[in-house]
Structure 1
Amino acid sequence: MPAIEAASDTILVVGHGSREDSGNQEIRDFVEQWRARRPDWRIELCFIEFAPPELNASLLQVATGSRRVLVVPLILNAAGHVKMEIPEAIEQARIARPQTEFLLAPHLTACDPVLAILKRRLRKAMGALDMPDPTTTGVVLLGRGSSDRGANGEMAKMARWLLEEGDHELVDLAFTGITWPRLEKVVQRQVLLGMRQVVVLPYYLYTGTLMQRIHRQVEHLRGQYPQVRFACTEHFGFENEIFELMDQRVEDLRAGVPDSRLPCDGCSYREIAHDLGHGHSHAHTHDHGAAHDHGHTHDYEQGHEHAHVAPASTEAQPA
C-alpha cells in the first residue's frame, strides 16, 4: 500500500457515551486537549450511544475530504461495542465511501501505562489514610461489568498486576453491574479478613451515572463499617498516559503495525455471530492464525444488555 501523507488523515475518536451528559462533556474536553497537544492532526469525535454525533453518520461525514480515516476507540475494555458495533459501522462506511480507507485501532486495554495510573492513584489514596499500612489495607479494583469474559478478564489481569507490583496482600476485583462480585460483597470479605482500611479504585475513564453510583456506594459502606477507613479515587481519563496511548494508537495505524488481538476489524468474530443469525459480515479467505474469545453481549451503562451468543474459542487469545 503506498504511503499516504498524514495531512490526508482524519482521526475519529469513538467514545462510549453516557446518559449523564457531564461524562460526555469530559470526553469532548479530552478531545479538545488532545487537539491542542496535536495541532497538526485533524481529530473528530463521535459516540456509540446516548450522545451525538453518532458513529455511523460520523464515519461518513469525516470521510469527506479524507483519503484515510483512523478510528480510535477511547474505551478501556473490548466488549460488544469494540468487537461488533464499531467494526460493523466501519464495514458499512467502506461500502458507502469506497474512495476512503478506514483503519481501526485497538481499544486502550489492560497495559502498563494504565497500570502506572492505578499505582499512582493507589499511592495517593494510601497517603491520605491514617495508617498507610498495605498489610491491613484492602484494595478493590472496581469496573464496569460485562457478559463478555474477555472484557472481565482484562479487569482481572489489571487486579493481578496491582498485586504483583505492590505491597498489598489483598487486591480484589469487583463490578458495578451485570457480573459478580459486587463492591459490597468484596468489602464484606475484606473486613472479615481483618482489613482496617479499604481503597476503592474505579476503573473508569470519565464520569457518568456509574461513577456517581460508586461514590454513593462508598458513602453507604462508611456508614455500614464505621470501624473501617475508606478511600475512593476518581476516574482517570485525563491522565497523561491516556493521551500518550491515543498518540501511539494513531502512530501504529500509520506505520501499519498489526493488532493481533482483533485482526481484520474483528471479522472472524462477526462471522460467527452472522452464522447464528446476528448481524452481517464480509467474506474473506485469509487465515488469521489465532482464535479469539467470542462469548459476547453488549454491556450498557444502566446494566441492560442485548445478547449475541457465540461459541467460545478453543484456543487462547494472544496477549
Structure 2
Amino acid sequence: MISTTDTILIVGHGSREDSGNQEILAFADQWRQRQPTWRIEVCFIEFASPSLNQGLLDAARQSTRVLVVPLILNAAGHVKMEVPEAIEQTRLAYPQTEILLAPHLTACDPVLTVLRRRLRKAMQALDMPDPTTTGVVLLGRGSSDRGANGDMAKMARWLLESGDHELVDLAFTGITWPRLERVVQRQALLGMKQIVVLPYYLYTGTLMQRIHRQVDHLRQQYPQLRFHCTDHFGFEPEIFELMSQRILDLDAKVPDSRLPCDGCTYRELAHEAGHGHSHEHTHTIQVHPAGAGAVAPGHSHDHDHAHGHAHDHGHSHAHPHESQTA
C-alpha cells in the first residue's frame, strides 16, 4: 500500500520550450487531485529543473521508499540507461531507502484508445470522409534505438487493424526514416484525398511546434489534399490511469512491473566496458540458462544482441535523442 512515507517520482524528458515542462508540472498537479493521498514529485532528464539526479536525491532523503515512473512513451537511451544509472547512484547515497523503477508507458491498449479517439475527432473535423481515401500518419520522435521505433510501428499496426483506414503509415521527426514529407508524398500518389497526422507526443515543445509548421507547408505543397493535424495527448484520462496502474503494480510487486534495465547485469557490464547510451536492446522476457552471466528468472530478458561477446565496438554511441528536443 502506498504510504505517506513513500514518494512517487515522475520522470519527464524535459524540453527547451518551457511550455512543455509546465505541462508536465500541470499533469502532476492533476494527478495529485486524482490521488490525494499520494506524495507525487517531478524531475526532468534534461533541459529543466529539478534534474533527474537531484529529484532522486531529494526524494530518497525524505522517504522510506521511492517509486520512479517515467512519463515517457518509448524507451530509448534515457529510460534504458540514464534513469537506472541515476537510481543506482542514489541507492549508494541512501542505502536505507528502497527505490523501485516502473516501466515507461510503452505501446499498449490505453494509448491505442487515445489514438483511436484522436483519429475519430480528426475525421469529424474533416466532415467524416471515406476512411479508405483518408490516409493516416502516426508521427513520432524517432530514435537510434530500434526497440523504441518498433513500439511505434506496433502502434501504427494496431491502429490500422482497429479501423477502416487502408493506409496507416509511420513517420518520424528526426534520427530515423521515413520523414513526414516522404510519407505524405507516397499517400498522395496512392490516391488519398485527406491525410490525418497523429503526433505521438505527450506534451508540447519545439518538435510539436515544428510539426504544425510542417503540416502548414504541406497544405501549400498539396492544395488538392485536405490535412488535419491533431495535438499532443498528455492529459487524456487513459494516461493518468496508466500511470496510476504502473505505481499500483510496482507497489504490489506484480511480476514484470519493474523496468527490465533496472539492475540489468548486461547493462552494468556494458557500462563498465565503456559502451554509450545507444545500447539498442529490446525486452522480450525469456529464461536464460543458469550459469555465468545468467539473469535471475523473472528478470531475464533478450537484449536483441549477444551479450558479453558479440558487442559491436564500432557501433554508434550517439544518444538516441541527441539531435532533438522535446
Residue in structure 1 matching 2:173, options 172, 176, 189: 176
* CA gap 1:246/1:297 in 2 versus in 1, 3 angstroms: farther
> Which residue is equivalent to 2:218?
221
* CA gap 1:200/1:5 in 2 versus in 1, 3 angstroms: closer
* CA gap 1:261/1:134 in 2 versus in 1, 3 angstroms: farther
| Partner Cα separation in structure 1 for residue 90 and residue 68 of structure 2 | 12
Give the SS at the match of 1:30: helix
TM-score for the superposition, normalised by structure 1? 0.89
- Greater CA deviation, 263-272 or 87-96? 263-272
Cα root mean square deviation, aligned: 2.1
For structure 2, list consecutive stretches of 5 or more residues without a partner in the other structure.
278-291, 306-314
> Which residue is equivalent to 2:68?
71
* Paired letter, 2:302: A
| Partner Cα separation in structure 1 for residue 182 and residue 32 of structure 2 | 42
1:263 Cα deviation from its structure 2 partner: 2.5
- Greater CA deviation, 245-254 or 289-298? 289-298
Q: How many residues align?
A: 299
1:271 Cα deviation from its structure 2 partner: 2.7
| Partner Cα separation in structure 2 for residue 286 and residue 172 of structure 1 | 37
Q: Are the aligned partners of 1:134 and 1:168 in contact in 2 as well (CA < 8 Å)? A: yes
Residue in structure 2 matching 1:86, options 83, 87, 98: 83
Residue in structure 1 matching 2:153, options 150, 153, 156: 156
| Partner Cα separation in structure 1 for residue 184 and residue 258 of structure 2 | 33
| Partner Cα separation in structure 2 for residue 191 and residue 257 of structure 1 | 47
1:128 Cα deviation from its structure 2 partner: 1.0
Q: Are the aligned partners of 2:6 and 2:39 in contact in 1 as well (CA < 8 Å)? A: yes
Give the SS at the match of 2:302: coil
| Partner Cα separation in structure 2 for residue 99 and residue 43 of structure 1 | 20
Map 1:190-229 onto structure 2 (within 5 A). Answer: 190-229=187-226
Q: Are the aligned partners of 2:80 and 2:261 in contact in 1 as well (CA < 8 Å)? A: no
TM-score for the superposition, normalised by structure 2? 0.87
1:223 Cα deviation from its structure 2 partner: 0.1
> Which residue is equivalent to 2:239?
242
1:300 Cα deviation from its structure 2 partner: 2.5
* CA gap 1:293/1:66 in 2 versus in 1, 3 angstroms: same
1:219 Cα deviation from its structure 2 partner: 0.2
Give the SS at the match of 2:74: coil
Residue in structure 1 matching 2:100, options 98, 103, 116: 103
* Paired letter, 2:203: Y
Q: Are the aligned partners of 2:2 and 2:38 in contact in 1 as well (CA < 8 Å)? A: no
| Partner Cα separation in structure 1 for residue 21 and residue 136 of structure 2 | 28
1:62 Cα deviation from its structure 2 partner: 1.0
1:110 Cα deviation from its structure 2 partner: 0.4
| Partner Cα separation in structure 2 for residue 20 and residue 242 of structure 1 | 22
For structure 1, list consecutive stretches of 5 or more residues without a partner in the other structure.
305-319
* Paired letter, 2:184: V
* CA gap 1:57/1:142 in 2 versus in 1, 3 angstroms: same
Taking only the aligned residue pairs, the percentage that are identical comes to 78
Give the SS at the match of 2:116: helix
| Partner Cα separation in structure 1 for residue 52 and residue 293 of structure 2 | 24
Q: Are the aligned partners of 1:79 and 1:148 in contact in 2 as well (CA < 8 Å)? A: yes
Do residues 7 (structure 1) and 4 (structure 2) align?
yes
* Paired letter, 1:196: K
| Partner Cα separation in structure 2 for residue 189 and residue 166 of structure 1 | 20
1:188 Cα deviation from its structure 2 partner: 0.1
Q: Are the aligned partners of 2:219 and 2:225 in contact in 1 as well (CA < 8 Å)? A: yes
